[in-house]
Amino acid sequence: MKKITFITLFASLMAMAVSCSSDNSADNFKWQIDSFDDVKVLRYKVHGFEELPLQQKELVYYLNQAALWGRDIMFDQNFKYNLAIRRTLEAIYTTYNGDKECAEWKSFEKYLKKVWFANGIHHHYGNDKFAPEFSEAYFNALVEGSNADLFPSEAFGSKEGLLATITPIIFDATLYPSRLVQAGVDDVLKASSMNYYEGLTQSEAEAFYAGMAAINDPRPISYGLNSKLVKKNGRIYEQTYKVGGMYSAALEQICYWLEKAAGVAEEPQKSTILKLVEYYKTGNLRLFDEFNIAWTEDTASHVDFVNGFTEDYGDPLGRKGAWESIVNFKSLEASRRTELISDNAQWFEDHAPINPAFRKSEVKGVSAKVITAATLAGDAYPATPIGINLPNADWIRKEHGSKSVTIDNITEAYAESGKGSGFDEEFVLRKEDRERIKEFGSIGDNLHTDIHECLGHGSGQLAPGVKGGELGKYSSTLEEARADLFGLYYLGDDKLVELGLVPSFDVAKAQYAEYIMNGMMTQFSRIELGKDVVESHMQNRKLIAEWCYEQGKADNVIEWIVKDGKRYVVVNDFEKLRELFGKMLYEVQRIKSEGDFEAGKALVENYAVKIDPELHKEVLERYASLGIKPYSGFINPIYTLVEEDGKVVDVKIEYRESYIEQMLYYSANYSNLPTLN
């Protein structure tokens, strides 16, 4: 019986993979549409959109509009002067009447492409400010040759005022050098140029929020999630993101399109969408919690969405939510995979290698599905995650569960566009590892993401009296490590074979080899030489890999090998490595459950931050020689309502824009925020 389950499921997954790639080659779908600096821009394919019933297509369309209107918010949240700079650059780009073939113009265009990609002038991942490859004198000449009427001068009193503000910001490397600094400085707010705080110190901000949550409130709202904290004339107050408050113009449009969406949605989704609108209109975070509960409990709606101030990774204090939206619908075939996992959630929780006191005695409604993304926006655009688990509030997750998704058409685009890059040949030393990665790499990646999102983040519980904010700036990294370890540990469990999700331990071997190599080596391709690892997911991977390397040293579990002058990292003992994942999960769960700040800090600072400069240099050189871009992002398809006699009869989907066209179109049609907010 069990074997049949496996063969059926595994065969259908493989068949799906094959049919995807064959129907893509049939219509010459081009995955990669642009490439610049360290980035490639891809398209994703919205499988099954044409087959949706009209009502669901319409719902996708309205949610798509609600998503696109949030783009300016993300620019402004990232940095106060981003909109001023973007609008000036775009005015130049579209009206400059001089030579557009010379090298400096190309450098200018590249800079603008980078600003679009990062939703601002700081790198979307590394957070450092971009250095323009054109001179200030050239910039001044561009300004002179362009239509100044289109410059966002009004916010600065005059064109001169605008330029006097933004020119030094663009060209002086010492001004606003980083969007996000979380370690190694006295005051993380002072060192970070994100726009979530203004005019106050880290300790003032911490003190402002410290007293807010009532000590024994079991259901605290996410204090500070939807506001900017400002100190003016000696007074500290929140500017709330809401209709009538900060970002009102964009939020009004978002509400307008959400109401349209509610107009075609069925219950309970209709009420859920209207709850979100009510929250945007009031800024009341209790309503946001109510929305999240209704959203989490609605597992039946085929079309679904994320829309809101959501992830706090861009705030050095881990409190403010970056605006994002993802519109999607369920991929029925692939969802069988995650349904199997979530149906067994309690079994995984009961057998987790953690202190039984920190296991959830009753895992509440972990719903997991595989989705097809239809629109990406805000913080999720153009660079986007491949899996999501929401909502973020701990008490909602505990009482109502969470919704976990894996985005298969994004994973597909990554895999398709990466084919034939020569990466495995360059970095994977052993033939048997390369063969396993080729055969089981995708299924291992997908399952690891499924378990990370569906079970990992939702697992475990806090010790009595622990509130959940104790780990401070180390919390994101440790939380990602906890979810990754849960996934890595269970990927090698017999239970997955029994459930028919994998054929054998070989899938885990493929994933372990890739994971360790990435954590200790290849992921450094994304970091500039001399810099530390700062992003939480990257820190987490390094932390796990380095900790296991050290712990397994006596048994040579993981080994560095030098061959022909090149360094390789290999796993010698996969079973022992799995034991180490379990051992580490035990400790990381303990740290979270007990709120042990010092132990968490020690783990992150010792294993996750510093890179060996020689190794770093080697990785960058080997990457460069392959011409592989370390980052990818995506443009969206275009949706158009087809109307006959004033009635919607269809929604058309097209994949025809270039990257530049899409960015200019969004700026021209979905940009109504003031230049300074």
Using CB under 5 A as the criterion, which residues of the chain lie in contact with Zn ion when the complex forms? 480, 483
Which tokens go with 129?
């400010």
Q: What is the C-alpha separation between 83 and 101, in angstroms, rounded?
A: 26
Q: Are 491 and 511 in contact (CB under 8 A)?
A: yes
Which tokens go with 210?
């410290």
List the one residue out of 32, 58, 56 whose CA is nearest residue 44.
32
Nearer to Zn ion, 264 or 383 (CB): 383
List the one residue out of 176, 153, 148, 177 whose CA is nearest residue 164.
153
Q: Are 511 and 451 in contact (CB under 8 A)?
A: no
Nearer to Zn ion, 483 or 496 (CB): 483
Which tokens go with 499?
């459930």
Task: Give the nearest distance from C-beta 480 to Zn ion in angstroms.
Answer: 5
Q: What is the C-alpha separation between 452 and 446, in angstroms, rounded?
A: 10
Q: What is the DSSP letter of 130?
A: P
Q: Which helix (H) or strand (E) holds 308?
A: strand 303-311
Task: Give the nearest distance from C-beta 636 to Zn ion in angstroms.
Answer: 23
Task: Give the nearest distance from C-beta 499 to Zn ion in angstroms.
Answer: 22
Task: Give the nearest distance from C-beta 311 to Zn ion in angstroms.
Answer: 10
Q: How many alpha carbons lie under 13 Å from residue 659 in its C-beta half-sphere?
A: 27
Task: Give the nearest distance from C-beta 385 to Zn ion in angstroms.
Answer: 8
Task: Give the nearest distance from C-beta 488 to Zn ion in angstroms.
Answer: 13
Nearer to Zn ion, 222 or 404 (CB): 404
Task: Give the nearest distance from C-beta 544 to Zn ion in angstroms.
Answer: 13
Q: What is the C-alpha separation between 84 and 151, in angstroms, rounded?
A: 8
φ and ψ of 197, to 5 deg = -140, 150
Task: Give the nearest distance from C-beta 466 to Zn ion in angstroms.
Answer: 20
Nearer to Zn ion, 276 or 471 (CB): 471
Nearer to Zn ion, 459 or 632 (CB): 459
Question: Please, what sign has the CA dihedral across residues 75, 79, 81, 86?
Answer: negative
Peptide bond preceding 268: is omega within 30 degrees of 0, i.e. cis?
A: yes
Residue whose structure tokens are 């055969």 = 439
Nearer to Zn ion, 480 or 535 (CB): 480
Q: How many alpha carbons lie under 13 Å from residue 494 in its C-beta half-sphere?
A: 1
Task: Give the nearest distance from C-beta 541 to Zn ion in angstroms.
Answer: 11
List the one residue out of 127, 176, 489 whose CA is nearest residue 313.
127
Nearer to Zn ion, 408 or 480 (CB): 480
List the one residue out of 511, 617, 528, 659 whose CA is nearest residue 571.
511
- Quick check: helix, strand or coil at residue 569? strand
Which tokens go with 19?
């049919």
Task: Give the nearest distance from C-beta 387 to Zn ion in angstroms.
Answer: 7
Q: Are 194 and 77 in contact (CB under 8 A)?
A: yes
Nearer to Zn ion, 275 or 473 (CB): 473
Nearer to Zn ion, 224 or 387 (CB): 387
Q: Are 355 and 389 in contact (CB under 8 A)?
A: no
Task: Give the nearest distance from C-beta 457 to Zn ion in angstroms.
Answer: 6
Nearer to Zn ion, 450 or 480 (CB): 480
List the one residue out of 492, 538, 504, 534 whose CA is nearest residue 518.
538
Nearer to Zn ion, 294 or 341 (CB): 341
DSSP for 596-609 reads -HHHHHHHHHHHTS
Residue whose structure tokens are 């331990």 = 505
Task: Give the nearest distance from C-beta 487 to Zn ion in angstroms.
Answer: 9
Using CB atoms within 10 Å of the CB of residue 141, give its burial: 0 to 12 exposed, 13 to 18 middle, 19+ buried: middle
Task: Give the nearest distance from C-beta 367 to Zn ion in angstroms.
Answer: 16
Which tokens go with 340?
């199997």
Question: Please, what sign has the CA dihedral across residues 562, 565, 566, 567?
Answer: positive
> Please, what's the largest Cα pairwise distance for the chain?
76
Q: How far is CA 51 from the centre of its chain?
A: 28
Nearer to Zn ion, 413 or 454 (CB): 454
Nearer to Zn ion, 250 or 483 (CB): 483
Nearer to Zn ion, 273 or 388 (CB): 388
Polymer length of the chain: 677
List the one residue out of 300, 377, 380 whose CA is nearest residue 335.
300
Task: Give the nearest distance from C-beta 405 to Zn ion in angstroms.
Answer: 12
Residue nearest to Zn ion (CB): 483
